[in-house]
Amino acid sequence: MMHDALHNIDLITYDLDGTLLDSAPDLALAIDDMLRAMALAPAGIDRVREWVGNGSRRLVERALVHAGARGPDSAQLDEALALFMQFYARHLVSNTRCYPGVMACLEAQRERGIAQALVTNKPSRFIAPLLEATGLEGFFSHTLGGDALAQKKPDPAPLLHIARALDIAPERAMMIGDSRSDVQAARAAGFRCLAVTYGYNHGEPIAALNPDHLLDSLEELV
């Protein structure tokens, strides 16, 4: 039987980090390489996991503030971000894996004829190589990175952009994500909202945001 969450849904937009992919280990490697290159102390994966979700610039800024970098002013942030992008490109798929149930869920919705798209706050340039390395390429009609439009999640713009491109009404669309930016973007766009409990969400339980549905695994949507 089909899960209730999928009732009357024609489009699913998925978040990437913390929802489809456990990417925190590689993000942490890159952040720590960046900090070391700037003669600052490494942060470690447990902290980095809490900083993911608002794009690379905010991730780097949080790391610099935590490491006690004075400022950080925008020149220092630019320099750190350039280092991070360079290191992350090298570590993109060293340890990054799909969460259990992801592939089966994507296959099941494809079979059902539900349109699927990806909306991440991650820089666009990393999307294709990550999808390719994890076997997730080919499932999404549209992919949008955090730098693709002027506004990123929690702004509803990327979700509405995709709904419009596919000519699907927001009330027939659902966002699946792991963090408050996903829940807020879904609400503001008029999308149904499903949250996974295993993701990052800045160290706080996503249940506190009252998404329409909560899942421990995307396997439940198969």
Q: Closer CB to ligand PGA, residue 18 or residue 211?
A: 18
The residues of the shown chain that bind Mg ion, judged by CB under 5 A, are 15, 17-18, 178-179
Return the structure tokens found at 53.
């979700």
74 SS3 class: helix
Nearest one of 33, 124, 127 to 83, comparing CA atoms: 33
Does residue 145 belong to the site contacting ligand PGA (CB under 6 A)? no
- For 108, other C-beta atoms within 10 Å of its C-beta total 18
> Does the annotation list 17 as a binding residue?
yes
Quick one: which of 13, 96, 109, 120 contacts ligand PGA (CB under 6 A)?
120
The DSSP symbol for 190 reads T
> Is 26 among the residues that bind ligand PGA (CB under 6 A)?
no
112/141 with CB nearer ligand PGA: 141
Q: Is 147 annotated as a binding residue?
A: no
Q: Are 62 and 77 in contact (CB under 8 A)?
A: no
Binding partner of 13, given ligand PGA, Mg ion, none, CB within 5-8 angstroms per partner class: none
Phi-psi region of 164 (alpha: psi -120 to 50; beta: other; left: phi over 0): alpha
Residues β-bridged to residue 185: none
- By beta-carbon proximity to ligand PGA, the closer residue of 112 and 124 is 124
How many CB atoms sit inside 10 A of residue 197's CB? 14
- Among ligand PGA, Mg ion, none, what does residue 120 contact (CB within 5–8 Å per kind)? ligand PGA
| 61 lies in the site for ligand PGA, by CB under 6 A | no
Interaction between residue 184 and ligand PGA (CB under 6 A): no
Could you confirm whether 15 is annotated as catalytic?
A: yes
Task: Report how far residue 210's alpha carbon sits from residue 198's, in angstroms, rounded to the nearest whole number.
Answer: 15
Least Å distance, CB 41 to ligand PGA, is 22
Q: Is 178 annotated as a binding residue?
A: yes
Q: Please identify which residue in the block is written with the tokens 């008029």.
A: 190
| Residues with active-site annotation | 15
> Residues interacting with ligand PGA, by CB under 6 A?
15-18, 52-56, 59, 120-122
Question: Which residues participate in the annotated binding site?
Answer: 15, 17, 178
